Each structure stands twice: as structure tokens, then as C-alpha cells.
């Protein structure tokens, strides 16, 4: 009986199994059909959760997606963020922005696989198209030119890093970035932002500012600093009649040379050439021979006179040699220049307070010693109406003192002299012209004697006066003559 029952249940069981297979098969067919229908559906549409430039275009055709993206571009406003923390906004309409239908939106659709439409429901696909907008560059440039941050008074130029000489030492001064905007770069970044649908543009992050050409971390600055410290740290000061002249690192650093590898070094030939030029300019401030002098003379009169041989003259070649030695030793010093001649300095026109004053028009002499007139006298100078014998004006210095000298004129062909005059006190200051006694042939001095009966150019004095002057005057004393 049990076997018969089992045989009777078997066909029913088989039928049930067959139904189950049919149901499962039907479900599979439905699923496959749905999947294929979905794949077909998304063949011409973007998959779900597809975003282009932040806009959800899932389930849209290319044309429909362009319509949505056009809304973004047409109502577009871009916030420009500047490095001072402030912002300014520009609109797409004001900048001549229009939607570019000839864009790459279609390419995103082509790259997607419609067979993955189910997976798209469980993830977000972010995409970027950078040619959604067309920008009229001319209109854009006009618009950004009106921004407050683009005005001339708002533009602070960048400053390169540099090596600076301060307080007798070198230091590297960092670069300054400033706020000058690279307008070409800014236009490029704005056009890109419009095309990508961005609503903010940070100019600093996008390098829209003009950058310093040299930065403190550059190898060239570091190497210049080392070379300057080694070769250009001297500070040489000269005291001149027109003020101090200083040669220090701020100038010496410019004397350094640079090789093909960008390394700075000292070229001695260049340093000598630069030092020679410097000394030539220095000479103009030191040389005083023959220059114009203004001084206060007797009776507090202010006199101006030029010419003569009194003063200093810089010995250029010797000074260049000494100066280079100080530079190479990196000395910080006040240097006494190598000169010839003498000059009392800036006081009283370079005459100081001890000098001989000779008024050739007034035919009078004063000897100032330490600020006090200790001797004065009438004189007779060179014959004025004979230009060859006229005493020249100018500032000179006493270069000798001699007792009992015979003064001689021009030697004649027969061996005799134009004149031979013995004097007791001889004090020359201008070649053959000097101060001397003349009592042995004159009894009067002063007045207009000099006009037609003057000397051969010398300053004639009474013997007693000449003696006193001889005893008190020193060699190198200034002698100033004026009309």
C-alpha cells in the first residue's frame, strides 16, 4: 500500500516542480526584459545620478541636458575672491557670456554604458565640461577693467627679494607679492570658470597675481648674499669740502660679476675699473686748486676769488691702489685720501684763519694769524698797465722762505739779466712772484703807483714789514690776491 501511495504522489510533485521552474523562468524573462528595456531607454539618455558641472542631468537627453545647463550659464554670476579678503562679482550677461551648444556634453553620453543603468541608482557620477560658455573677450576685458581691484591706485606692484646693505652688513630682504593682477591670466581663468559653471574664483589660488621675479629662497639670491658678504662688506668714508662721500656695500655689491652659471664673484679687473671711476668722481669733490673761493677778509668784507695754485689735488692712481686694499680687507673706516698741496678745509673758503690777504686794487696787505690781523701794510704790486708785469689774482701758498736773495729777471743773450735786485726777505708764492722788501729803491707804497710804476709782478713791502712777516709766516700759508 505504501508503495502504491508513493507512486500516486510522484506525478503531482513533478507538476509542482515544473510550475516553479516556469515561474522562475518567467521572472527571469521579465527581469531580462526590464533590463533590456532600461538599457534601451538609457541608450539616448543620461544615467540616473549623472551630474554635469553640478547640474543633475539624469534621465535627460543631450538636448534636454543642454537646456538645463543653458539655464545655469545664462543666469551665471561669478564671485572673484581677491588676496585682500574682499570679493567682487561679475555676471555672465554683463561679460558677454552665451551658451555654447557646440560643447562636449554629447561626449559624456557616449562614454556611459547604458547597460549599467541599474548601478547608476546607487552612485553619483560627477562630470565636468569646460566649454559650456562662449565669452566675448573684448566685453569681458571691458567689464573687469571697471572692477575696483583693477584700478591703478589699488595695484601694488610686487617687489623682488634682494640683498640689502644696512648698518654695515648684508641681509636678504624677502620678496613682496603685492596686488598687481595679471589681466591676461585673470581673463583666461574667468573664461574657464564660466565654461565650467563655477561660481567662485580665488585669484590667489589660480595665480592671477603678478609674481615677484626673484624670491628669497632662490639659489641666486643666496649665492649673491655669500659673495657680497665675502667681497663687498667694506665701508669707506671720505670727508670732503662738499660733505662726506661713502663707498660701502650698497655700491660695492654692484661691482660683483656673474658667471655663465649665475654665480657671483669678484673680478679684480672690474673692481679696479670701478674704483678708478669712483676716484675720478671723488677728485671733483676734493680737488680745490684754482677753484673759486669765497672768504671773509679784513673789515669783514666777503671776497670771491678764483685761480691760483693753492688747494688739494687728489693723486688718483695712488688713491685707487689704497682704496682697493681697504676694500679687499673689508675695512670699515674713514680714509684720508692721497693728495698733494694743502687746504685748510671748508672753513673760510678753505683759507682757514691764518692767511695773507692782498688787495691789489686797494694796494694793501693784511696778515691774518689765528683769526687776528697781526700785520698790515700798503704795498706796490706788478705794473698794472703792462699785462706782462701785472700781478695775477688767485689763491696761492707760500712754498719757500729765504734771506738775502738776489732776484733776477730774464737772462739776455749776452749772459746778463734784465735786472738783478738783492732783497733781504724773499717769500715766493707764485713761481717767480713773491713778497719781499723794497725800501732800498722805494720810499712810498700804496696809492696808484702800481698802475705805471709797479714791480715785475712781486709784492713790494717796506723792509720793516717784510721782516716782521718773514718772522711770523710759515711755509704753506695761503696767500690770496684779488682786484
Give the residue numbers annotated as catalytic, written as ranges: 436, 458
Residue 27 neighbours by CB under 8 Å, 6+ apart: none
Contact 460, 446 (CB under 8 A): no
Q: Residue 236 and residue 227: Cα distance in Å, rounded?
A: 19
What count of Cα atoms within 13 Å lies in the side-chain half-sphere of residue 437?
A: 20
| Residues 6 or more apart in contact with residue 135 via CB below 8 angstroms | 95, 96, 97, 190, 191, 194, 195
Long-range pairs of 240-248 with CB within 8 A, sequence gap ≥ 24: 240/282, 240/285, 240/286, 241/285, 241/286, 241/288, 241/343, 241/345, 241/346, 241/350, 242/285, 243/285, 245/282, 245/285, 247/278, 247/323, 247/327, 248/165, 248/168
**Cell numbers linked to 281:** 668722481
Contact status, residue 312 vs residue 341, Cβ threshold 8 Å: yes
Are 103 and 128 contacting, i.e. CB atoms less than 8 angstroms apart?
Answer: no
Q: What are phi and psi of 475, to 5 degrees?
A: -60, 145
For residue 96, what is its C-alpha cell? 558677454
Residues across the chain: 483
Contact call for residues 182 and 208 (beta carbons, < 8 A):
yes
Measure the N-to-C terminal CA separation of the chain; round to a whole number of Å. Answer: 170
- CA distances to 81, 423, 428, 431, 439 from 420, rounded to whole Å, are 99, 10, 16, 17, 15
Amino acid at each position: 500500500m505504501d508503495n502504491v501511495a508513493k507512486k500516486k504522489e510522484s506525478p503531482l510533485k513533478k507538476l509542482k516542480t515544473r510550475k516553479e521552474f516556469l515561474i522562475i523562468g518567467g521572472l527571469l524573462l521579465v527581469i531580462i526584459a526590464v533590463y533590456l528595456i532600461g538599457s534601451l531607454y538609457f541608450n539616448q539618455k543620461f544615467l540616473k545620478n549623472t551630474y554635469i558641472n553640478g547640474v543633475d542631468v539624469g534621465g535627460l537627453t543631450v538636448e534636454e541636458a543642454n537646456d538645463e545647463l543653458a539655464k545655469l550659464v545664462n543666469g551665471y554670476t561669478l564671485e572673484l575672491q581677491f588676496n585682500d579678503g574682499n570679493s567682487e562679482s561679475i555676471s555672465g550677461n554683463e561679460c558677454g557670456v552665451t551658451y555654447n551648444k557646440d560643447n562636449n556634453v554629447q561626449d559624456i553620453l557616449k562614454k556611459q554604458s547604458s547597460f549599467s543603468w541599474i548601478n547608476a541608482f546607487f552612485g553619483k557620477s560627477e562630470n565636468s565640461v569646460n566649454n559650456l560658455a562662449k565669452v566675448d573677450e573684448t566685453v569681458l576685458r571691458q567689464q573687469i577693467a571697471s572692477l575696483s581691484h583693477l584700478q591703478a591706485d589699488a595695484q601694488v606692484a610686487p617687489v623682488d627679494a634682494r640683498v640689502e646693505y644696512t648698518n654695515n652688513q648684508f641681509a636678504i630682504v624677502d620678496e613682496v607679492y603685492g596686488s598687481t593682477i595679471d589681466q591676461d591670466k585673470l581673463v583666461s581663468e574667468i573664461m574657464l570658470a564660466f565654461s565650467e559653471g563655477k561660481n567662485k574664483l580665488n585669484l590667489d589660488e589660480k595665480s592671477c597675481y603678478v609674481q615677484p621675479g626673484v624670491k628669497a629662497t632662490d639659489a641666486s639670491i643666496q649665492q649673491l648674499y655669500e659673495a657680497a658678504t665675502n667681497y663687498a662688506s667694506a665701508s669707506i668714508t671720505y670727508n670732503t669740502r662738499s660733505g662726506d662721500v661713502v663707498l660701502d656695500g650698497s655700491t660695492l655689491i654692484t661691482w660683483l660679476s656673474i658667471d655663465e652659471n649665475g654665480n657671483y664673484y669678484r673680478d679684480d679687473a672690474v673692481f679696479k675699473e670701478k674704483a678708478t671711476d669712483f676716484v675720478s668722481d671723488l677728485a671733483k669733490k676734493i680737488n680745490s686748486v684754482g677753484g673759486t673761493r669765497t672768504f671773509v677778509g679784513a673789515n669783514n668784507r666777503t671776497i670771491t676769488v678764483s685761480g691760483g695754485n693753492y688747494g688739494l689735488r687728489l693723486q688718483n692712481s695712488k688713491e685707487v691702489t689704497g682704496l682697493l686694499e681697504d676694500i679687499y680687507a673689508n675695512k670699515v673706516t674713514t680714509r684720508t685720501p692721497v693728495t698733494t698741496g694743502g687746504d685748510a678745509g671748508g672753513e673760510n673758503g678753505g683759507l682757514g684763519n691764518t692767511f695773507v690777504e692782498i688787495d691789489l686794487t686797494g694796494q694793501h696787505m693784511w696778515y691774518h694769524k689765528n683769526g687776528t690781523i697781526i700785520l698790515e701794510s700798503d704795498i706796490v704790486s706788478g705794473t698794472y698797465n703792462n699785462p706782462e708785469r701785472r700781478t695775477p689774482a688767485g689763491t696761492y701758498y707760500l712754498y719757500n722762505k729765504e734771506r738775502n736773495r738776489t732776484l733776477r729777471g730774464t737772462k739776455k743773450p749776452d749772459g746778463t739779466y734784465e735786472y738783478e735786485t738783492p732783497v733781504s726777505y724773499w717769500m715766493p708764492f707764485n713761481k717767480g712772484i713773491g713778497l719781499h722788501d723794497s725800501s732800498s729803491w722805494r720810499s712810498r707804497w700804496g696809492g696808484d703807483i702800481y698802475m705805471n710804476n709797479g714791480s715785475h709782478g712781486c709784492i713790494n713791502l717796506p723792509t720793516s714789514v717784510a721782516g716782521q712777516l718773514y718772522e711770523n709766516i710759515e711755509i704753506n700759508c695761503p696767500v690770496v690776491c684779488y682786484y
